[in-house]
Amino acid sequence: MPLTIGVAQYPTQSSLPRTLQLLTNLTRKSAADGINLLVFPEAFLGGYPRTSYFGATVGGRTAEGRDEFYEYWKQAVDLGDVSPEGLGEYVGPGDGTRQKLEEIARETGVFLVVGCVEKSGGTLWCAVLFVDPVRGLVGKRRKVMPTGTERVVWGVGSPKTLKAIDAVIGGEKVVLGAAICWENYMPLLRTSLYSQGVTIYLAPTADARESWVSTMQHIALESRAFVVGCNQFVTTDSLPAYVPASTARGEMEMEDEDTPLEDVAVEGEVVSNGGSVIFDPLGRPLAGPLWGGTGVLKATIESVEREVVRAKMDMDTAFGGHYSRSDVFKLSVEGLDLKRIR
C-alpha cells in the first residue's frame, strides 16, 4: 500500500466547532480519495490572527486589544496537557478537541498533522499535532520562535518538543518532523530535524510569498526528505472572527455536518494566497504550488525509504551521515537527544 500525502489548503472557520467540522469533512473525503497522511496549515484550529495587532504598541496596550485577545483565547484549543513545557502529559480532559481528532483519525484511518493554537492557562502557543489512527495523539510541537508581532500573543515553546515522530503510514515506517513557518529559516532548528533522520519534513506556515516555495525546495535538497508546505487560502471574508461561540470547556458540539466543502468562503480581498506544495527528496515538485484558492493537494509515494536513500547517496545530513561531518560539527538541543538508533 503506497503512502499518499494530502495537503489541505483551507481557511480557519468562524468558530472552533465549525473548523473541526471542516477538518472532519476534509478527512473523510481525503480517505475516500486514498490519502493516508493529511496535513493542515499553521494555526488551522484556533486561527492565525492575521491583520490583528491586539491594541499593542511599544509601551502601550488598549482595553479593546485585551478584549480581542480574550475572544481569541476562547477560540483556542485546550488539549488537557498538564506538562509545563507542553510535552504531552494529557491528564486533564481538555475541551474535547484531542478526543475528536483521535476519533476522526481512527474512523478514517488517516494520519493527521494539524496546526493549532493551544491554550494553557492564560498563555497561547502555536503548535502542530500528530494524530495516529491507532495510537492517538502521539506528538506535539510548540513553535519555539514566534515571528515578529506573533510574540505579543504566542508563547515561546520548549525545544524539547522538536522530537521527531516515528510512524507507520501506508504500511511503511517513516520519520515525521515539523518546522512551523519561519522556524524554517533557523538553520540549527532545521539541522536538529535532519539529525533525527526525518524522512517527511512538514512545514505548516502562514507565509504566502512566492519565495516560500523556493525555501521548501531548498529544504528538500538539503534534507533529502519529502517536504510538505501547507498554508491557508484566506480572504477578508474568511478571516477568523473572534466572537463568542460554543468553545467553552464541555461545549464542543459539532456544527453543519452536511455543509459542502464548496461553501467555504472564498469571496473578498485575498490576504493569503496559499502556495501549498510538496517536493520530493531531490527537490522535484510532486504537487503544487497551489495559488489562489482552496483545495487538497495529493501526491502518492510508492516507497519513501527508496526515494530518501536514493537521494542520500551523495548527501546525507542526518546524524552520522557522510555529509554531516559529525567529527567536525557538533549540535546539541537542550533537553533533546538527537541520536537515533536505526
The length of the chain, given as a count of residues: 342
Give residue 12's identity as a one-letter amino acid code: T
Contact 162, 138 (CB under 8 A): no
Q: Around Cβ 99, how many Cβ atoms within 10 Å?
A: 16
- Assign 32 to helix, strand or coil: helix
Catalytically active residues, by annotation: 42
* Interatomic CA distance for residues 312 and 317, integer angstroms: 8
Grid coordinates in use for 247? 468553545
Cell of 287: 504537487
- Whether 147 and 76 have beta carbons less than 8 Å apart is answered as no
Q: Are strands 233-235 and 172-178 parallel, antiparallel or unpaired?
A: unpaired
Please, where are the H alpha helices in the chain?
Answer: 16-32, 63-75, 97-108, 187-194, 210-223, 304-311
Is the bond preceding 244 in cis, omega lying within 30 degrees of 0?
Answer: no
Rounded to whole angstroms, the Cα distance separating 259 from 18 reads 10
Give the Cβ contact number of residue 185 at 10 Å: 13
Q: What is d(CA 292, CA 216) in angstroms, rounded to the nearest whole number?
A: 19
Distance between CA atoms of residues 333 and 160, nearest Å = 8
